[in-house]
Amino acid sequence: MRPLTTTLTAAGAAAAATGALMLSGAGTGAAATPRASATPTETTVTATMIHVQNGTLPVGAQIPNNQINARRTYFGNSFAIALAHDKQGAFYPVQTGNGGLRWRTDGPALFLPTADAPLAVNTVTAATKTLQYAYGGGGQVVDVTRDGGPQWRSAIFDGTVMAVAPGVATNELVAFVNNGAGVTWQYVTRNGGATWTYFPRYLG
């Protein structure tokens, strides 16, 4: 079942035409290869596990409806995921199984108000019920779960994450990272966010 997201973002627009992005290390029809000087220093980014921190909500905690973000991704009429915040300003991935009557956290806090800006996220969406991801808000991270929560991993890139879109294979995602100098790098994960590899070319 293809998810339905209630607010279209850049990532959704990028994949809307086909529902996915085709990736290629080389070949005709691919985007032009960036100059060598524009390639990232780190071509493989390894994610780290996100743990529940002291003073934050545990996995499975109920969140009031007025603390759920407006952008939500639905699978059918009952199951949906979104981003929410607590009274202290921490952000969590949340899900509902009854059409939004009740929401519960499905992972640890992804961003704390005391954290550095590069860890910021403002969107949670999904490729499937189990492959969910968070990014945005000017942050440099992509947070991913491949088991629908509670295990989330965070990958930090050397640039601002502008968009994330599903790839064509299972557990495949594509991240678009702006290096701050007018160049957008494409990174792909094929293992549900555990590692990300720089791709100089892609087919959309």
Instruction: Transcribe 92-112 into DSSP letters.
Output: EEEEESSTTSSEEE-SS-SB-
In DSSP terms, 94 is beta-bridged to 82, 105
At 166, give phi and psi (nearest 5°).
-65, 145
Residue range 8-56, pLDDT digits in tens = 344 443 443 334 454 444 333 444 444 434 889 999 999 999 999 999 9
pLDDT confidence of 154, banded at 50, 70, 90?
Answer: very high
Q: Which amino acid is at 174?
A: V
Give residue limits of the domains in the chain: 4-203
For the entire predicted model, the pTM comes to 0.83
Please name the residues in contact with 6: beta carbons below 8 A apart, sequence gap of 6 or more.
70, 71, 72, 73, 74
pLDDT confidence of 202, banded at 50, 70, 90?
Answer: low
pLDDT confidence of 7, banded at 50, 70, 90?
Answer: low
For the ranges 6-10, 91-95, 133-137, the lowest mean pLDDT is seen at: 6-10
